[in-house]
Amino acid sequence: MAVAVSEGTFEQEVLKSDKPVIVDFWAEWCGPCHAIAPALEKIGEEHAEKVKIAKVNIDEEQGLQIKYGIVSIPMLIMFENGEPTKSLLGARPKSAIEREFGLSE
């Protein structure tokens, strides 16, 4: 299950995570963001041993939006060992998200 993170919890939940974290930068008004949400939940369930899913609402967490240069959403960024390593912009099918982040078999 995806965990909602804020500026206050980002460091602990994402940067200090013991496994890679895919952060979904989204907003309530964003249709494509809602379209990929079920795929991200499924990825979180199916690959729980490999990756964690976190969500950042950019309307509520503008500091994180600015820090990571988010200008379009949905934006997915994978963090490994506290650093952003891969990103994916726009709504994609589950298989494309898995492939981009190295989760497909």
- Say which of 23, 30, 70, 78 is annotated catalytic: 30
Residue 30 annotated among the catalytic residues of the structure = yes
13, 21 contact by CB (below 8 A):
yes
Q: Alpha-carbon torsion 37, 38, 39, 45, what sign? A: positive
Q: Give phi and psi for 84, each to the nearest 5.
A: -70, 130
Residue 65 annotated among the catalytic residues of the structure = no
Alpha helices (runs of H) in the chain, residue ranges in sequence order: 7-10, 31-46, 62-67, 94-100
- Say which of 33, 36, 58, 103 is annotated catalytic: 33
Tokens of 52: 């964690």
Q: Which residues pair with 86 in a beta bridge?
A: 78
Residues annotated as catalytic are: 30, 33
